[in-house]
């Protein structure tokens, strides 16, 4: 079998000597003689707490690679701790993808096992793998164990939003709030709600990029290490078979990902990530495909933020495959996985052990669990809403806009007792898109005005060009495209304008006559908020980032360059 790494190691000339000699350091010479070199792209980092345990997972992958006759090579790659990095982890997703892609291509590697967990890490790894197109398989790091506080399940993220609203409403003391902190993060692993990390782990498996049955295994569960070991073995076999992402990821794989996304009631962030991954593969996926394929799929997993339970419960109740089995008829039975076999081949054994956690198709958590795509004069290129996380009575609504030009403007004014706002108002936040923030942060689920919380209001229609945490909930129209900073109509909205939302009709409209709107210009405060940085990654990002409806990838990263590097380094 000829290997890509032979280009570095085969032969006896000066260059092969240099490549081998520096790698030897006690390793036998035959390690470079026809044995697949398997990178373990590891996002473990002390500053990405959800991924900190991945070095232990990497050891199990190493054992599996060795056992199958390959050579494991750990490759630390850029990591992103969602809760830690400023201004927002999403600003760096494309940089992490670019760095990983370039390092996989630059090195003598035949295949790769990708270790991720926290929100942006799996999307970035998948984008990289799609563009370099080497045999690749993901091991998701798994969710944390359940947290409880005062006898109730406390989900990561979701609990923070809920409890902080209670503090603002005066129904929970500050001391009780702080006390809940250590109860929430109870073990290794990523967030245990159906937030973005859980969603992207399951969606990666639905795409076919994870060994079937692995995603959703809790991080402390020894079965995660067993599966990581098996994945190491599989990576060696994938090299022998030439099974690269482009050989098995198809439109059908994305159909499966979209159906799964709806059935698990997954995060809206998956929309942006899947669009970006498809873009790397040259697959024509559009925002409308999410509505067409997924919006009427029932949500079956009763998990926070839309439901009650957490990821450990999902695993106990039968796991991801038990959910997929309920919607099997909607899946593409041809779409293959990293093993070479279709995903649907693995669903026969799945069973639901707890029908409270995993609902049967006939009794769903939400009848239409997918993401709805809205259009109208406020979002000509689209906006999304997750009806399952919204309030039924607000899905059709007209209200007066209360406009904020930035998140700082919002924070400065939202609790002002004199703010002219009531329960029917529509909160509009702009300057939070890919270019405007920059990086499209998770701020769209803006907190409600304190005075309305005190009156018992718990949800309002909110409209924003940013994203929303997958652990959040509410009637939030997000990813408005084009964003305000790119000159979208959102930049022209004024406080007092009437906005109409009709989710059933898939419309979001600004009720301002066309002539009047055409005569408006964005106000100076809007433009001042987007003072662009002058250098570095932010400069590159702002100049090249695509809008949310195209996955917010950089324009020059869309597509694939393959794995070939023809020039020597010395």
CB nearer ligand FES, residue 75 or residue 156? 156
> Please, what's the b/e burial string for 47-82 (b: 16 or more CB within 10 A of its CB; e: otherwise)?
ebbbbbbbeebbbbbbbbbbebebbbbbbebbbbbb
Residues in 77-106 that interact with ligand FES by CB under 6 A = 82-83
Between 82 and 497, CB nearer to ligand FES: 82
Beta carbon nearer to ligand FES, 155 or 294: 155
161 within 8 A of 473, measured Cβ to Cβ: yes
SS3 334: coil
442 binds ligand FES (CB under 6 A): no
Q: Decide whether 118 or 490 has the Cβ nearer to ligand FES.
A: 118
- Lay out the site mask for ligand FES across 237-266 (x = CB under 6 A, - = otherwise): ------------------------------
Q: In what order do the strands lie in the sheet with 136-140?
A: 71-76, 37-42, 111-116, 136-140
**Interface residues for ligand FES in 320-379 (CB under 6 A)?**
none
The burial class, CB within 10 Å (0-12 / 13-18 / 19+), for 531 is: exposed
User: Given the complex with ligand FES, which of 95 and 558 has the nearer CB atom?
Assistant: 95
Strands (E), 307-460: 372-376, 379-385, 396-404, 426-429
Positions in 195-224 near ligand FES (CB under 6 A) = 195, 197
- With CB under 6 A as the contact rule, the residue among 65, 73, 103, 118 that binds ligand FES is 118
Q: Choose, by CB under 6 A, the member of 110, 119, 237, 289 that binds ligand FES.
A: 119
Measured between alpha carbons, how far is residue 67 from residues 39, 60, 63 in Å? Answer: 15, 11, 6
Look up residue 175 and give its two tokens. Answer: 């001391």
If the CB atoms of residues 79 and 406 are measured against ligand FES, the closer one turns out to be 79
Closer to ligand FES by Cβ: residue 83 or 107: 83
CB of 429 to ligand FES, least distance (A): 22
DSSP 8-state secondary structure symbol assigned to residue 292? I
CB of 539 to ligand FES, least distance (A): 27
Shortest gap between Cβ of 84 and ligand FES (angstroms)? 8
Q: Using the minimum distance from each CB to ligand FES, give the nearer residue, 200 or 343.
A: 200
216 vs 522 by CB, closer to ligand FES: 216
CB of 469 to ligand FES, least distance (A): 8
The percent of the chain in helix, strand and coil, each rounded to the nearest 5, is 40, 15, 45
Query: Dihedral through CA 477, CA 443, CA 281, CA 140, nearest 10?
Result: -120
- The packing angle between helices 269-281 and 121-132, to 10°, is 10
Taking CB under 6 A as the binding criterion, the range among 10-18, 163-171, 191-199, 534-542 that sits at the site for ligand FES is 191-199
427 CB-near residues (< 8 Å, 6+ apart): 402, 404, 421, 446, 448, 460, 461, 462, 463
Q: Restricting to residues 19-78, name those near ligand FES by CB under 6 A.
A: 50
The pair of structure tokens assigned to 16 is 């092969």
**Cβ–Cβ contacts within 10 Å for residue 179, how many?**
12
Nearer to ligand FES, 40 or 156 (CB): 156
Number of residues that bind ligand FES (CB under 6 A): 10
> According to CB under 6 A, which residues from 171 to 190 bind ligand FES?
190
Rank residues 45 and 425 by Cβ distance to ligand FES and give the closer one.
45
> What residues are paired with 112 via a beta bridge?
39, 136
Q: Min. distance of Cβ 158 from ligand FES in angstroms?
A: 11
Q: For residue 147, list its beta bridge partners.
A: 154
The nearest distance, CB 224 to ligand FES, in angstroms, is 16
Residue 280 CB, nearest approach to ligand FES (Å): 23
CB of 118 to ligand FES, least distance (A): 3
Sign of CA dihedral 258, 259, 262, 266: negative
Minimum gap (Å) between residue 262 Cβ and ligand FES = 21
Interface positions with ligand FES (CB under 6 A): 50, 82-83, 118-119, 156, 190-191, 195, 197
């Amino acid at each position: 079998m000829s290997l890509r790494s032979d280009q570095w190691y085969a032969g006896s000339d000066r260059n092969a000597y240099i490549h081998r000699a520096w790698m030897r350091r006690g390793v036998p010479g035959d390690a470079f003689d026809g044995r697949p070199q398997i990178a373990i792209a590891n996002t473990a980092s002390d500053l990405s707490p959800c991924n900190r345990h991945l070095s232990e997972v990497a050891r199990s992958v190493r054992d599996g690679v060795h056992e199958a006759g390959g050579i494991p090579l750990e490759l630390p790659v850029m990591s992103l701790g969602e809760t830690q990095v400023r201004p927002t982890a999403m600003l760096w997703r494309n940089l992490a993808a670019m760095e990983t892609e370039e390092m996989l291509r630059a090195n003598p590697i035949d295949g790769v096992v990708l270790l991720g967990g926290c929100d942006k890490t799996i999307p970035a790894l998948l984008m990289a793998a799609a563009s370099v197109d080497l045999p690749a398989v993901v091991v998701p790091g798994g969710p944390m164990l359940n947290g409880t506080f005062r006898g109730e399940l406390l989900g990561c993220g979701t609990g923070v939003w809920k409890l902080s609203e209670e503090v603002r409403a005066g129904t929970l003391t500050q001391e009780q709030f702080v006390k809940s902190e250590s109860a929430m993060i109870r073990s290794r692993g990523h967030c245990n709600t159906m937030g973005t990390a859980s969603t992207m782990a399951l969606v990666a498996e639905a795409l076919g990029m994870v060994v079937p049955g692995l995603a959703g295994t809790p991080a402390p569960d020894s079965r995660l290490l067993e599966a990581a070991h098996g994945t190491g073995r599989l990576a060696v076999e994938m090299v022998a078979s030439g099974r690269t992402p482009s050989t098995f990821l198809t439109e059908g794989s994305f159909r499966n990902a979209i159906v799964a996304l709806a059935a698990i009631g997954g995060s809206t962030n998956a929309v942006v990530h899947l669009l970006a991954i498809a873009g790397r593969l040259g697959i024509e996926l559009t925002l409308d495909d999410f509505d067409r394929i997924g919006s009427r799929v029932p949500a079956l997993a009763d998990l926070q933020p839309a439901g009650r339970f957490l990821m450990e419960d999902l695993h106990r109740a039968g796991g991801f495959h038990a959910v997929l089995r309920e919607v099997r008829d909607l899946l593409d039975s041809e779409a293959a996985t990293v093993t070479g076999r279709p995903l649907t081949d693995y669903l026969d054994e799945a069973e639901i052990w707890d029908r409270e956690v995993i609902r049967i198709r006939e009794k769903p958590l939400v009848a239409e669990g997918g993401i709805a795509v809205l259009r109208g004069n406020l979002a000509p290129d689209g906006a999304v809403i997750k009806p399952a996380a919204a309030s039924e009575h607000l899905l059709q609504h007209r209200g007066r806009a209360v406009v904020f030009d930035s998140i700082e403007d919002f924070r400065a004014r939202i609790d002002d007792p004199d703010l002219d706002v009531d329960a029917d108002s529509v909160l509009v936040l702009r300057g939070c898109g890919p270019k405007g923030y920059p990086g499209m942060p998770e701020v769209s689920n803006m907190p409600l005005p304190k005075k309305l919380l005190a009156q018992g209001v718990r949800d309002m229609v909110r409209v924003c060009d940013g994203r929303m945490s997958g652990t959040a909930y509410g009637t939030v129209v997000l990813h408005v495209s084009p964003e305000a900073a790119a000159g979208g109509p959102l930049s022209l909205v004024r406080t007092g304008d009437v906005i109409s939302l009709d989710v059933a009709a898939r419309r979001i409209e600004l009720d301002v006559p066309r002539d009047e709107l055409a005569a408006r210009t964005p106000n100076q405060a809007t433009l001042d908020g987007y003072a662009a940085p002058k250098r570095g990654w932010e400069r590159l990002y702002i100049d090249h980032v695509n809008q949310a409806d195209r996955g917010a990838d950089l324009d020059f990263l869309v597509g694939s360059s393959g794995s070939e590097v023809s020039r020597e380094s010395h």
